[in-house]
Amino acid sequence: MTALASTAPRRLSKAATASGRQRSLVASCVIYLCVAVFAIWILLPVWYLVVSSLITPAQLGVKPFPMMPGSITFDNYLSVLTGSTGSKGFGSTDIGARLLPAIGQSFFVSSVLVVLNLTIAGLAAYGLSRYPFRGSRLFELSIIISRVVPAIAIIGPFFVAFRVTGILNTPWALIISYNVFTLPLAIMILKNYFDQLPREIEEAAKIDGASRLQTLWIIVVPLARPGLVAAGVLIFLEAWSEFFYSLVLTNQLTVPPLLAGFQSVQQFNWNALAAATVMSMIPPVVLVIIFQRHVVGALTAGAVK
């Protein structure tokens, strides 16, 4: 207690002087009040979701909602994970049995896209950055414009083409169609990253007799690793989050359309849906928090272009 009380003001004053001037007590109070409002704004819906996933349907019906539940249970997670949907009031849907496969498919689609896009976009971005050709500016411009093409405007032809080729309702339909938005994103981010890398080492390698491809592979790829990681995380995030293509082109193959389908079933269990939603939120959130620094840097560089 006393230890806490003695360290807190010291850390506070250190933090305050970091800005160059001592902050007044009133200013500090205002700031901490704002921080509290900020934290509540972010955490309240998340807290509601997490609590919902940890209580029983009976507790859920209590008014007002038990923000601090008296008892918690992991039954919702268990029933979703084991797929034992019968006795838990899941209604007519078998979401429990399909959630883990959907998570697996989401991982598969996202991972294949990351590898594919880092290769194709990486080559393109390097070409645009170091060896601009006639029409490369136009290409960059059309990439930026492609971000405003509504998914809904191009889904029809995809649907027809995938039905004809027989890959409708397979992960490949998504891996192909997701390129529409992940590839431009990856090219923009990586081009920007390559632009910021110093070119002296590449020139030295060239003078030492390395070919352009050798230079790319031996010198640039290791230097660009943080940029590649950031672009990879963002591609993964986009693919993991995508809903519309997956809704139209597959039968609830990945997580988002599965959850959406579960939600619209007449008899369902919000506690179990909450548990499924929590589990599906964890991979992207954890991934971004781990690579926070890289990702935010790449995001700003890519977006500001």
Partner 1 sequence: MAASPLSSNALTRDDRRFGFRLTAPAGILLAVLLLVPTTLTILYSLHDVPANGRSLGPFVGLENYTIVLGSSVFWRSAWVTFLFSVGFVVLSTLIGLAMALLLNQPFIGRGLARALLIIPWATPWLMIGILWKWFADGSVGGLNAVLLMLGATTDYHDFLSDPNSALAITIVAAVWRQASFAGILLLAGLQTLPGDLNEAASLDGANLWQRFRNITLPWLRPALVTVTVLNVIYAFLQFDVIFAMTQGGPGDATQVLSILIYRQLFGVTQIGLGSALAVILGFVALAGGLITVKLLYARGSQPA
Interaction with partner 1 in 3-42: which residues (CB under 8 A)? 8, 11-12, 15-16, 18-21, 28, 31-32, 34-35, 38-39, 41-42
Per the CB < 8 A criterion, the answer to whether 175 and 116 are in contact is yes
**Cis omega before residue 184 (within 30°)?**
no
Interactions with partner 1, residue window 130-149 (CB under 8 A): 130-134, 136, 139, 143, 145-149
Interactions with partner 1, residue window 214-233 (CB under 8 A): none
User: Is the CB of 74 or the CB of 144 nearer to partner 1?
Assistant: 144
Per the CB < 8 A criterion, the answer to whether 276 and 194 are in contact is no
Q: What tokens were used for 176?
A: 């192909």
* Number of CB atoms found within 10 A of residue 186's CB: 30
Per the CB < 8 A criterion, the answer to whether 118 and 186 are in contact is yes
Interactions with partner 1, residue window 93-112 (CB under 8 A): none
Interactions with partner 1, residue window 266-305 (CB under 8 A): 270, 273-274, 277, 280-281, 284-285, 287-289, 292, 296-297, 299-300, 303-304
Closest distance between partner 1 and the C-beta of residue 148, in Å?
A: 4
The number of residues in the chain equals 305
What type of residue is 211? Answer: S
111 — phi, psi (to 5°)?
Answer: -70, -45
**Dist CA 167 CA 163 (whole Å):** 6
Contacting partner 1 (CB under 8 A), which of 72, 78, 155, 265? 155
Closest distance between partner 1 and the C-beta of residue 26, in Å?
A: 12
| Contact stretch for partner 1 (CB under 8 A) within 83-91, 107-115, 124-132, 223-231 | 124-132
Closest distance between partner 1 and the C-beta of residue 239, in Å?
A: 10
Closest distance between partner 1 and the C-beta of residue 83, in Å?
A: 20
Instruction: Answer yes or no whether residue 73 interacts with partner 1 by CB under 8 A.
Output: no
Contacting partner 1 (CB under 8 A), which of 83, 199, 210, 223? 199
Instruction: Answer yes or no whether residue 157 interacts with partner 1 by CB under 8 A.
Output: yes
Q: What tokens were used for 219?
A: 């010198």
285 — phi, psi (to 5°)?
Answer: -65, -45
| Contact stretch for partner 1 (CB under 8 A) within 70-78, 96-104, 107-115, 122-130 | 122-130
Q: Where are the alpha helices (DSSP H) in 55-89?
A: 57-60, 75-82
Closest distance between partner 1 and the C-beta of residue 69, in Å?
A: 12
Instruction: Answer yes or no whether residue 60 interacts with partner 1 by CB under 8 A.
Output: yes
Residue 175 makes CB contacts below 8 A (sequence gap 6+) with 109, 112, 113, 116
**Dist CA 61 CA 69 (whole Å):** 12
